[in-house]
Structure 1
Amino acid sequence: MSIGNILVIVVIAAFMVWRMLPTKGVRYISTTQLKSELNDRDKQYIDVRTPVEFRGNSIKGFKNIPLNQLAEKSSSLSKDKEVIVICQSGMRSSSASKLLKKQGFKKITNVRGGMNAWR
């Protein structure tokens, strides 16, 4: 194996690890913790799954804004209130958290394990 091939593998591995790292300034909670916060009217609850996934199984109080529409629809959210984000497994909500952070939201919470962990 050449040095070039090794370098490519290292760069790809580093990129994959970087994508998996928690976003700085984003709070992470379990679904158990989410249950104790669900009735807080000072928070915004966003489900970034597709409309089909959302219709199939969702948590009362969550609004469906699919990840691919979040950038354009985030203006409907208040930057003064905490945003709690969920998806199916935690991957899309992690991407959503990064996107919201870049758009200037300060209080963002990602639900670890997403709907897969919800019981």
Structure 2
Amino acid sequence: MSQNPAFDSSIPVLTEVVLDPLVLEPVPGSGPAESAAPAAEPAPVQEAAPDWDELERRIAERVVQQLQSQIDAVVRGALAATNEQIRQGVRQAVEQVVAQQVAAVQFGQK
């Protein structure tokens, strides 16, 4: 069996990014041992609401860290290609100017 060609094993899947030890910590009062034991006095269980902004920030940081080397390589490649295009453009422009000046000097002397 062949792997999907669009699949890149160096890119993390969502579960690798989201599974964070801080996110997976059990909320007090929600574990199976605690819920099976009868409560001595009725205390309201307050579960902490997830901080979605913090979770999003951590996921974004983790994705950027894991992909940074690939991002750097793409940027370096794009800069190298752009640099080569600029170098060729400047070289052609200089050659044209020199050729025009040489032609002007040659025709001016005759």
* Same fold flag (TM > 0.5): no
Higher helix content, 1 or 2: 2
User: TM-score, normalised on structure 1?
Assistant: 0.23
| Higher alpha-carbon Rg | 2
